[in-house]
Structure 1
Amino acid sequence: MAAPPSVRLTIADGPRAGTAPAKVNYARLDARLARLVEAKDMVGLGVAVVENGELRFVKGYGVTTAGSDDRVTANTVFRWASLSKGVASTLIGKLADEGKLSLQAPVSRFGTSLRLPGGSERVVTVENLLSHRLGIVKNAYDDKLEEGIDPRVIRTALGGLDRYCAPGTCFAYQNVAYDTASEIVRSVTKQSYQDAVKQRLFTPLGMNSASVTRDGLMRAQSWARPHVGRRTVPVDDAYYRVPAAGGINSSVLDLGTWMRAQMGQAKNVLPRRVLDTIHRPRVSTASARKRGTLFDRELTDGWYGLGWRDYQYVGHGIVGHRGAVRGYRSMIAFDPKTRDGVAVLWNSESAKPVAIQLEVLDAMYRRPFKDWLELDTKKKG
């Protein structure tokens, strides 16, 4: 499937032949996003909106580096952070569909470096791995990864932890352990994880800006520098060393292309049966969300599939994920039934753009407008 044109697509351009009238007021959305990026804790932003399976709006806002005149465009490359997990699960789901592995196979069958308390790597399945049901504490040893320790060494050390719960019975989000997926891919395909992802997913989908390494980000013709506040910081390489958990980069244009594929718009690459397998809820995350913000609780009935989260929003099923690494944030949310959704990448640690999904989804569902971005809401006190 060829990549869509690398330009902004809005209602102002007029609906294309055979395309239904837009449900989103793109002129208003455009104006609101331009205001959002002017916030003190914002630098650059890329947004893609898909309606009825078609990419209808793609645009960049702000700058790649605070204080510069280098504008973010639809082709500017950002980090995906934990949106990368959906790439790993999609690839493994595709390999399973091709009969190259079983999701019910124990992780130990693939000769990985993962060790778990009590030797449960011999029991834990690939499905358990991709749904964060390994029986160990949340984010186990992320600190050691950030200290520069080889993730393979860390995965082996996980065997010395106390058991958090019986394997397969509870949700505890992982990064280092989740990257066992990259070792499984290498074992099955006899390719590097980077080559397998590119050959089997990115190239067939026409995602020409997408890459799996730090160099891939920094060699892009236009790439967004990471920021803490408005201070530019170095690109941290820790999570590139666990590529299945946090190593993907691309433009928002290509993230929009990825979202279309996850909606079933690239059946020659991702058959519906693969998507149904990876999106299907496996384990409840509702207890964790009860401790979240009021905004988080708008997306109810939280579950985790394989590399993807599942929610309910005003009676509609939503598939998505959010990501965060130093200096970058990311978000994707879509309705697989209506094939509507929004994807957002930004190069700061602001939480504000997360609200874009609700403004877009409200428009998709013909709900009254609400100022979720709080651009017009006066703060109390």
Structure 2
Amino acid sequence: MRRGQWLAIGLVGTLVLAVLAGVALLASKSLWVSRHTPANQSAVAAVRAPDPRPSTVDYARLEQRIASLMQDRDMVGLAVGTVEHGRVRLLRGFGSTLAGSPGAVTPDTVFRWASLSKSVASALVVGLAANGKLSLDAPLSRLGTTLTLPGDFSRVTVTDILSHRTGLVRDAWDERLEAGEDPKQLRAALGTLAPFCAPGTCYAYQNIAYDTASEIVERVSGQSYATVAQTRLFTPLGMTHASIGEAGLESAASWAHPHRKGRVPTVVRDAYYRVPAAGGVNASIRDLTRWMLAQMGEAPRILSSQMLDTMHRPRVATPPHGPRGPMDRALLNASYGLGWRSFTYAGHALVGHRGAVDGYGALILFDPAEKSGIVMLWNSNQSKAARLQLEFFDMLYGLPRTNWLGMGTQAEEAEGGSGDAAAPTLPAKGSKRQK
């Protein structure tokens, strides 16, 4: 074969190798992009085509009901987000960030999440388990945390902590936490309490014990709890205003100041910031709406369907304590999973949680099957606001109007807008007030 022919063959071979290398590079880059979404490209995206079903919620009426709520003498500011069939339908702020000030609440105003923070802790721990870093069924005694419990707690697992099955009395030593005592020292001394039940056998809501999750995250990851939450959840989900700790709240461009009854401003108290897994998250309603979408399965690279099932699945019934209103009686089959509550309402399975710290309220409630739900944040000690969630679901499901808020303007009443029926008295059946 002539020299020129050899040169031609060599040139062709070089070009083929270059093309193949380029294809491999593009494929590798595409794979990396699919697994590592930049901060400005949220992982909460339409994985499937948007559901074509029209809205069944009357948003003019819903906003009218919100306007009625805002007339309550204890309401100051409120932010609301709704999703129907995987699509954001409402994202609005109402009222002000501080009573008597012109600062308006917007979709980016930052509030405290209070106990909604428990779902973040659950997602971090369950994510570490999904990556093989720990076992949810491992005895807690192997993880080197500060927690002690009454009696023999050698079989208490990570799952028991995240589902409030520690055997402690409800809200153990919260008053001491609020008085300024160190949460790790309190956690280390919880074993001196009398047992409420055998660990793993009953439900009793906790904050100090639940924050053992922050220790687990830090020990397994080798990073601070706030850093892990930011890098593994907030940034990839596009939750741009989310943070852990008091500084994150008060440094926000727009943040909601806390208020007590009568719209009286109060100071931000740090007690529950010191148990970040139980109550340390701050974020906006835009962020909380993204969090709800992720819980509906719209961010599978961050929260897989297996992780969602692990967190949402009911683990223990939550029997009632104290007086309950009509809304609590309407949410049936109340149970707790891992950082999440579950209910049945009008034959539909719902997942959610509520939160409250001095001067703030928060809630999330959604129907995973319908990919529909509502999120709310407000800056006052007013529990009535939570009743709006069932007015939303009544509209979503096409149910008769019920005046869950127990209030309405004269115009609404003239139009029948305050509800055709008062909040009903339903038979009690294992429901518990969300917290």
Normalised by the length of structure 2, the TM-score is 0.82
Q: CA deviation at 1:331?
A: 0.8
Query: Is 1:153 aligned to 2:185, yes or no?
Result: yes
Q: Does 1:346 align with 2:378?
A: yes
- Does the 8 Å CA contact 1:289/1:302 hold for their aligned counterparts? no
Determine if contact 1:213/1:248 at 8 Å carries over to the other structure.
yes
1:167 CA drift (Å): 0.5
> Given that residues 290 and 297 in structure 1 are in contact (C-alpha distance below 8 angstroms), is that contact kept between their aligned partners in structure 2?
no
Q: RMSD of the TM alignment (CA)?
A: 1.8
2:353 aligned with 1:329: no
The equivalent of 1:309 in structure 2 is: 341
Which residue number in structure 2 is paired with residue 11 of structure 1?
none
Q: CA deviation at 1:95?
A: 1.1
- 1:202 touches 1:210 (CA, 8 Å); kept in 2? yes
Q: How many residues align?
A: 367
Alpha-carbon distance in structure 2 between the residues aligned to 1:119 and 1:262 = 35
List aligned pairs for 1:218-367, cutoff 5 A. Answer: 218-229=250-261, 230-285=263-318, 287-288=319-320, 291-367=323-399
In the alignment, the residues of structure 1 paired with residue 51 and residue 352 of structure 2 have an alpha-carbon distance, to the nearest angstrom, of 28
Greater than 6 Å deviation, 4+ residue runs: none
Q: Give, as a single letter, the amino acid of the residue that structure 2 aligns with 1:177.
A: A
Corresponding letter in the other structure for 1:242: V
Give the match's secondary structure for 2:186: helix
Q: Conserved in 2, the CA contact under 8 Å of 1:135 and 1:165?
A: yes
Partner of 1:375: 407
In structure 1, the residue matched to 2:127 is 94
SS at match of 1:264: helix
TM-aligned CA deviation for residue 3 of structure 1: 5.3
The residue identity in structure 2 corresponding to 1:371 is N
Task: Give the TM-score, by structure 1 length.
Answer: 0.93
Report 1:12-31 matches (<5 A). 19-31=52-64
Residues 343, 289 of structure 1: CA spacing in aligned structure 2 closer, same or farther, 3 A cutoff? farther
* Structure 2 residue identity aligned to 1:108: S
The C-alpha deviation readout for 1:340-373, integer Å capped at 9, x for no partner, is 1000000001112111110111111111222212
Task: Trace 1:41-52 onto structure 2 (pairs within 5 A).
Answer: 41-52=74-85
Once the two structures are superposed, residues 74-121 of structure 1 have per-residue CA deviations (whole angstroms, 9 ceiling, x without a partner) of 11000000000011011111111111110001112111110111241x
Deviation at 1:294, TM superposition (A): 2.1
Q: Which moved more, 1:111-120 or 1:174-183?
A: 111-120
- Asked if the contact 1:289/1:297 (under 8 Å) is kept, the reply is no
- Counterpart of 1:206 in structure 2 is 238
Counterpart secondary structure, 1:288: coil
- SS of 2:205's equivalent? coil
User: How far apart are 1:53 and its partner, in Å?
Assistant: 1.4
In the TM superposition, what whole-angstrom CA distance separates every residue of 1:264-306 from its partner, at most 9, and x where no partner exists? 0111111100000010000001x21684222211101100000
Deviations 1:49-79 (A, max 9, x none): 0111121110000000011111101110000
For residue 375 of structure 1, report the CA deviation from its aligned partner. 2.4
Q: Is 1:49–1:342's contact at 8 Å kept on the other side of the alignment?
A: yes
Alpha-carbon distance between aligned partners in 2 of 1:174 and 1:289, rounded to the nearest angstrom? 14
Q: Name which of structure 1's ranges 107-116 and 325-334 shifts more when overlaid on structure 2.
A: 107-116
Alpha-carbon distance in 1 for matches of 2:52, 2:254: 31
Work out whether residues 135 and 169 of structure 1, in 8 Å CA contact, stay in contact via their aligned partners in 2.
yes
Is residue 170 from structure 1 mapped to residue 202 from structure 2 by the alignment? yes
Deviation string 1:13-58 (CA, Å, 9 cap, x unpaired) is: xxx9864321111122122212211210100000000111121110
1:174: Cα distance to partner? Answer: 0.2
Q: Which residue of 1 aligns with 2:169?
A: 137
Q: Which has the larger radius of gyration?
A: 2
Return 5+ residue gaps in structure 2 as ranges: 1-36, 409-417, 423-435
Question: Kindly, what percent of the aligned residue pairs are identical?
Answer: 53
Q: Quick one: distance in 2 between partners of 1:304 and 1:359?
A: 23
Q: Within 2, Cα distance between the matches of 1:231 and 1:143?
A: 23
Which whole-Å CA distance do the structure 1 matches of 2:321 and 2:85 have between them? 29
Aligned to 1:13: none
Which residue in the other structure is 1:192 paired with?
224
Q: Distance in 2 between matches of 1:361 and 1:156?
A: 43
Identify if the C-alpha distance between structure 1 residues 300 and 348 changes in structure 2 by more than 3 Å, giving closer, same or farther. same
- DSSP 3-state at the match of 1:373: coil
| Whole-angstrom distance in 1 between the partners of 2:117 and 2:199 | 24
Amino acid across the alignment from 2:101? S
Distance 1:70 1:290 in 2: 37
> Residue 88 of structure 2 aligns with which residue?
55
92, 105, 108: which one aligns with 1:72: 105
Report the CA distance shift for 1:17/1:109 in structure 2 as closer, same or farther (over 3 A): closer
SS at match of 1:311: strand
The separation in 2 between residues aligned to 1:299 and 1:375, in whole angstroms, is: 20
Distance 2:240 2:53 in 1: 28
From the superposition, tell whether residues 18 and 351 of structure 1 become closer, same or farther in structure 2 (CA, over 3 Å). Answer: closer
Separation in 1, partners of 2:68, 2:42: 29
Instruction: Work out which of the residue numbers 97, 116, 126 in structure 2 matches 1:83.
Output: 116
2:375 partner letter: A
Structure 1, gaps ≥5 residues long = 6-15
